[in-house]
Amino acid sequence: MKLAFSTLGVPGLPVPEVLRLATAHGYHGVELRAHPEEPVHPGIGAEQRADVVSEFKAAGVEILSVAGYVRVAAPGDDAPVIEEIRGLLDLARDLGAPYIRVFPGAAHGQSPEEADATAARRLGTAAEYAADLGVRILLETHDSHRTGADAIRVLGLVGHRNVGSLWDVMHTWLGGEQPSETYAALSPYLGYVQVKDIASAEDTTPLRLGAGVLPIAECVEILSRHGWDGWLCWEYEKRWYEGAAPLPGLLGRGREHLARLLNDSA
């Protein structure tokens, strides 16, 4: 498996500094948070996109994903949602990233059936555009659809190879799903896996990997046992927790922890 980290852990950090951290600590790739407050987002032009590609290539680091904030199950018109997805897909294509990330984002009061149908309709429409660009749309286990069982209700309706899943281990755990259950549900659709650690279900402040309660070792063991050879991406949510320790000082130990888990599971 390859190891990456998300720029959510180092909000606003310029690309050269992100790459310095990746190379210094032995990470193979980076998940780029595609928000206007970040250096890389759908609003940047062709020249800036080309510069990002050149910088990553020179550093020998891969762009794993463009992590967007589209909420595909949210109420409202389809057109703006699909347009936002297409903007992320264009950015991923220009950067050479294989994936974009979207959220479910159903609203309180929506029935599960309505939310599932809305998400599936939009993802199905965007899937053909994604296929033309050679990029996969990944629905993260998050918010209204936090478990694998939730996500596959949507993915099964879509039924397109360019729409898959992003397994966020915190959300499936908070949803009460065992890692074996999540893997069984998502394995036909799985793009990559986001790992993290927290103190408890009541305190989700990010911790260094291995210092909390999330079943990271069990997840890695299951993935290894089934021969899955994709990406593990450390999503350290520093952006939302100002009191959390700075990520740069934790990256080395985090990579060592994941490498140890992978070795133990081999």
Report pLDDT digits (tens) over 79-119.
Answer: 999 999 999 999 999 999 999 999 999 999 999 999 999 99
Mean pLDDT of 20-34: 98
> For residue 29, what are the β-bridge partners?
4, 62
Mean pLDDT of 252-256: 97
Query: What global pTM score does this model have?
Result: 0.97
Q: Is the pLDDT of residue 266 over 80?
A: no
Mean pLDDT of 207-230: 96
H or E, element range at 88 = helix 78-95
Closest CA to 257 of 215, 212, 211, 209: 209
Domains of the chain (ranges, CATH numbers):
2-265 (3.20.20.150)
Q: Is the pLDDT of residue 122 over 90?
A: yes
Are 206 and 254 in contact, with CB atoms under 8 Å apart? no
Residue 5's pLDDT band (cuts 50, 70, 90): very high
How far is it, in rounded angstroms, from Cα 12 to Cα 18? 10
Phi-psi region of 138 (alpha: psi -120 to 50; beta: other; left: phi over 0): beta
Mean pLDDT of 241-254: 95
Q: Which pair of tokens denotes residue 126?
A: 């965007």
How far is it, in rounded angstroms, from Cα 73 to Cα 85? 13
Q: Which pair of tokens denotes residue 79?
A: 């057109």
Mean pLDDT of 151-156: 98
Q: Is the pLDDT of residue 15 over 80?
A: yes
Q: What pLDDT, on a 0 to 100 scale, did the predictor assign at position 139? A: 98
Q: What is the pLDDT of residues 170-218, one digit of tens each?
A: 999 999 999 999 999 999 999 999 999 999 999 999 999 999 999 999 9
Q: What pLDDT, on a 0 to 100 scale, did the predictor assign at position 234? A: 98
Q: Is the pLDDT of residue 265 over 90?
A: no
What's the first-to-final CA gap in the chain, in angstroms?
11
How far is it, in rounded angstroms, from Cα 165 to Cα 168? 9
Q: Is the pLDDT of residue 134 over 80?
A: yes
